[in-house]
């Protein structure tokens, strides 16, 4: 999922009740919910390095305990700095019991429990892996012991419905707090628990619906007739918002058949011209490209790779492209047919030596 959804998920999880058990729960869980994406720092070494290490060790069960320790350690340092600052610059109004005759209303706070905060950070880190698993890019939670990629593939990388549920859970308590303040209602110490639980239950219900429709899309793709060709495997990619609209890939011995599936009406729509992609032949250039840095990283990740020798370009270089059929569809957020995301290119000279590699049109230097 994209970063904002991860951050809001951590904040909503905290409001569901964790912030009542330990101080700094909200800040720790919000940071932890997005922390695994720090692997994007590999982009400093180039686009292929970023691609190879994305959703790597920071997105694994073995990495989570160390990430949680770093996050709690950072919060502990902040707490020490804050405590020292309070000692040197005390508040003008000291803490005191609530007195209804005064205007000063001290807000009760949760106790500082570092052990619980560590456990809460692990929960938020696990939420990141879970959210990433739901889309079709996938995760490797058991890496390095098991390098297999797992993908639920039933939620788009940005799901507006899920985003809206989280946003409402975070904003609604403040809006109702303004209304309560106008009528003189006492402000609760921990607001938004009911809204947070409602949002989390809504997300689970959304996942259940999408998972059910995803299985239905796979069944429709599997049983559809593709000019009598036998189908060895199928894949279904989600569209945003509409849980009944899917893009499917059916693999046959000679070609891949793309289709648009509507699970609500149980219809499969294909175009014999536009939706049939024949398996490209293996050439010497594609064999060399597959053994390149980009090629090995790509084939380790891709489930439906299309490696194509497109011939010689005007510069006299042989061009080999790497694309994944899971992203060969257009949505409001990407043009997968014309410019598939997560595509790579390898350029070879006359001696079949690699002279340049690109990932999403970014050159690896």
CA distance 346 to 334: 23
Cα–chain center distance at 6: 8
The CB density around residue 334, as the number of other CB atoms within 10 Å, is 16
In this predicted structure, which of 74-78, 102-106, 242-246, 282-286 has the lowest mean pLDDT? 102-106
CA distance 77 to 66: 17
Q: Is residue 57 predicted with pLDDT exceeding 90?
A: yes
pTM of the model: 0.89
User: Quick check: is 199 in a domain?
Assistant: no
The CB density around residue 219, as the number of other CB atoms within 10 Å, is 15
Each residue's pLDDT tens digit, 144-184 = 999 999 999 999 999 999 999 999 999 988 775 555 554 44
Q: CA 156, 242, 303: angle at the middle one, nearest 5?
A: 35
DSSP state of 99: -
Cis peptide bond N-terminal to 333, omega within 30: no
pLDDT of residue 86: 75
pLDDT of residue 337: 82
Last residue of one domain, picked from the residues 106, 135, 152? 152
Query: What range defines the domain where residue 296 resides?
Result: 280-363
Burial 173-199 (b: 16+ CB within 10 A, else e): beeeeeeeeeeeeeeeebbbbebbebb
User: Quick check: is 94 in a domain?
Assistant: yes
Last residue of one domain, picked from the residues 137, 152, 167? 152
Cα–chain center distance at 119: 22
CA distance 291 to 322: 12
Q: How many distinct structural domains can be found in the chain?
A: 2
User: Quick check: is 295 in a domain?
Assistant: yes
Last residue of one domain, picked from the residues 152, 178, 212? 152
User: Quick check: is 177 in a domain?
Assistant: no
User: Quick check: is 196 in a domain?
Assistant: no
Q: Do residues 148 and 284 both lie within one domain?
A: no
Each residue's pLDDT tens digit, 88-102 = 766 554 444 444 444
User: Quick check: is 118 in a domain?
Assistant: yes
User: Quick check: is 161 in a domain?
Assistant: no
User: Quick check: is 114 in a domain?
Assistant: yes
């Amino acid at each position: 999922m994209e970063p904002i959804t991860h951050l809001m998920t951590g904040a909503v999880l905290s409001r569901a009740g964790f912030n009542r058990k330990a101080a700094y729960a909200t800040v720790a869980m919000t940071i932890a919910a997005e922390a695994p994406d720090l692997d994007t720092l590999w982009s400093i070494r180039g686009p292929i390095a970023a691609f190879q290490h994305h959703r790597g060790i920071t997105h694994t069960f073995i990495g989570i305990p160390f990430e949680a320790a770093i996050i709690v350690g950072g919060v502990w340092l902040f707490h020490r700095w804050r405590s020292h600052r309070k000692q040197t610059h005390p508040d003008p109004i000291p803490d005191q019991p609530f007195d209804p005759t005064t205007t000063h209303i001290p807000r009760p706070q949760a106790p500082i429990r570092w052990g619980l905060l560590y456990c809460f950070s692990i929960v938020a880190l696990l939420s990141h892996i879970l959210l990433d698993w739901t889309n079709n890019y996938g995760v490797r939670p058991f890496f390095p012991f098991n390098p297999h990629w797992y993908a639920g593939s039933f939620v788009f990388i940005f799901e507006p419905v899920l985003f809206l549920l989280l946003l409402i859970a975070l904003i609604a308590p403040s809006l109702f707090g303004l209304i309560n303040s106008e009528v003189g209602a006492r402000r609760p110490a921990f607001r938004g628990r009911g809204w947070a639980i409602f949002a989390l239950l809504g997300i689970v219900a959304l996942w259940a619906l999408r998972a059910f429709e995803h299985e239905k899309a796979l069944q429709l793709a599997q049983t559809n007739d593709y000019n009598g060709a036998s189908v060895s495997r199928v894949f279904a990619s989600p569209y945003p918002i509409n849980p009944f609209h899917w893009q499917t890939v059916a693999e046959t011995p000679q070609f891949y058949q793309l289709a648009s599936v509507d699970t609500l009406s149980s219809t499969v729509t294909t175009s014999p011209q536009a939706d049939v992609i024949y398996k490209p032949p293996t050439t010497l250039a594609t064999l060399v490209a597959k053994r390149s840095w980009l090629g090995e990283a790509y084939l380790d990740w891709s489930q439906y790779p299309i490696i194509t020798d497109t011939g010689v370009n005007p510069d006299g270089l042989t061009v080999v492209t790497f694309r994944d059929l899971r992203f060969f569809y257009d949505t409001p957020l990407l043009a997968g047919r014309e410019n598939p995301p997560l595509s790579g290119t390898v350029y070879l000279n006359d001696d079949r030596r690699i002279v340049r590699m690109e990932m999403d049109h970014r050159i690896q230097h």
